[in-house]
Structure formats: C-alpha cells, structure tokens
A and B are shown apart, each in its own frame.
Chain A
C-alpha cells in the first residue's frame, strides 16, 4: 500500500503571499487531517476533511482553508502569510466509516516545511 505523500517538501515565501500544499492520502483512506508543527512543538490540528467537506477545525483563522477531492487527496491553502506561519505542515489520512467516527489511527506524511520571510 502507498503511504501519504506531500508536496512540496520545502518552500520559502514572503509575508503576504499565498501558498498551496498538497497531499495524497494512503490507499483505502477517505479522511484527511492537516496539522501545523512549529519548531519545538507538537503537531496542532488545523482541520479535517471527509467526503469533500470540512467537518472539523482547530483554532486557526479563516485564511487557512482547504479542499478534498473525489480521490480523497487534499490541499491546504494559506492566504496572507505571516511570519508565524513558518512551520512543518503535516497531512494525515485515516479511514472513517459512514456510521461512526470513532478513534482511528492516523498515517502521516513527511510534511511540507514552509518558511515565511
């Protein structure tokens, strides 16, 4: 089975710019979650996509947005970049059944490291 792949692996932007990060989920998974991992911190939940809709969001402003496509891949978009957006952005996929959303094991990608200057 293929794992979770993310692109690009590294990128540098300047303040005020916009960025799009991409993620392909693991085969058989239908849910994608995005996390931000700042230096020296644990991953923080940004949002989750299931059936092409955002169904949960952490404490992040609306300039963080996303998409999920019919093949379950996903994008994370960040507008009006700020210096504090510099971080490793992690995508994680999992399988959720239609009838419940119980605890599930996340499979993580290697991340996209964003530097904002």
Chain B
C-alpha cells in the first residue's frame, strides 16, 4: 500500500508571505497526484492535480505544485498567501488496485494566515 507524508502539521504565515507545503509519497510506479483543500466549515475541494505531462501544474486561486519524480515529491506552492487561504491542505496519491482505484491521503497541513 502507498503512503503519503506531509511534512508540517501546522503552518502559520502572515499575509503576503510565500507558502510551500511538502508532500512525499512512497509508490515508485506511475502516479497521479492531487492536492485537496478544506476551508473551515466546508467540504474537501480539489485544488490541483497531476496526471502526466508538464510537472509544474497550476491550480485554482494561484496555487501551483511541482512533481519531482526522483524525489517522490509533489510540493504545493503559492507566492503570496491571503487570509482567505486559511484552511487544511491534503496531499493525495491515486492508488491502482485490482479492479478499482482510490486515493491515499496524507494527514493534512493546517495553514493559518494572519492578516
């Protein structure tokens, strides 16, 4: 089974600071990678995904992530965070099994942006 590791459980930043959230996965084969975000009181929403092609993927709200195969990493970045980015962020990897596919999630990183 795959595992996903998110480096920080809590991150606190001031508005306009740059953000990088680390994510590493264990699977060595072909992977599909995702970042989901959960704003306070809301459901999990897709932020961005990587299936193939350009390893630098852009998502909603100015977020981007870079897939580095040699490092088994898919770190999330944003050049300048806003107070509204306060949320919990989950990295996930798609796992192919016999007859179905599912997502394996990391434990999440809680981001608090102070105004």
Contact = CB atoms under 8 A, between A and B. Distances in A.
A105 B46 contact: yes
Contact of A50 (B45, B97, B100, B108): B100
A106 B103 contact: yes
Contact of A103 (B4, B44, B101, B108): B101
Interface in B38-56: 42-46, 49, 51
B32 interface: yes
**Most chain B CB neighbours (cut-off 10 Å) among A35, A41, A55, A101:** A101
A40 B45 CA distance: 18
Interface residues of A, number: 28
Interface string A8-52: 000000000000000000000000010100001111110010100
A45 B101 contact: no
Contacts of B115: none
Contacts, number: 64
Interface residues of B, number: 27
A45 B103 contact: yes
Contacts of B42: 110
A90 interface: yes
A35 B92 CA distance: 13
B34 to A, nearest CB: 8
Contacts of A40: 9, 107-108
Interface of B: 4, 9, 32, 34, 36, 42-46, 49, 51, 90, 92, 94, 96-97, 99-108
Shortest Cβ-Cβ A-B pairs, 6 listed: A42-B105, A56-B100, A103-B32, A108-B44, A110-B43, A103-B94
